[in-house]
Amino acid sequence: MLEARALTKRYTTTTAVDDVSFTVKPYEVLGYLGPNGSGKSTTVNMITGLLEPPRGEVMFDGRSIQSQLIEYKRRLGFVPEQAHLYPHLTGREYLQLVGRLRGLNKKSLDRKIDRSAPVVRDRCGAAFADRVVLERDAAEGADIGVAAA
């Protein structure tokens, strides 16, 4: 379970995030909407561990993410609004890179990629594993980003 508790972030005289709290249980999806400049990106940066909240805390499975930040980031799946894929890698190579960065062993990683392959293949076409990212459209790149998350 992921909890945001009273997250607050101020930049000099501007309050970007003001006392935001919510809970996301396993398999739930949360929509976080608001106009430009309302603090959505700042909140996401705090939830992903990229920015330590000056006030409030982010909890994962009952523990502060700050006390287990590396392990938390290994388990976190996140797809940014603009996925930054390496254009010279194939879909499979990109998934292998992300898995290795998360510390997955090769056997486990290959199993996970093979398990996600049919879903990605259905959306991106049969050659998803062999085509480099540069040859893909934005939607296909986003699908690979979701598989990586």
* Lowest model confidence (mean pLDDT) among 14-18, 84-88, 120-124: 120-124
Annotate 33-65 with b (16+ C-beta within 10 A) or e (fewer).
eeeeeebbbbbebbbebebebeebbbbbeeeeb
Report d(CA 109, CA 10) in Å as an integer.
40
Model pTM greater than 0.75? no
Q: Clarify whether residues 36 and 65 are in a common domain.
A: yes
Q: Residue 29: its pLDDT value, please?
A: 82
Q: Clarify whether residues 32 and 61 are in a common domain.
A: yes
Residue 85 counted as domain residue? no
The residue out of 10, 44, 75 marking a domain boundary is 75
- Looking at residue 36, which CATH number applies to its domain? 3.40.50.300
CA nearest to 56, candidates 22, 6, 9, 15? 6
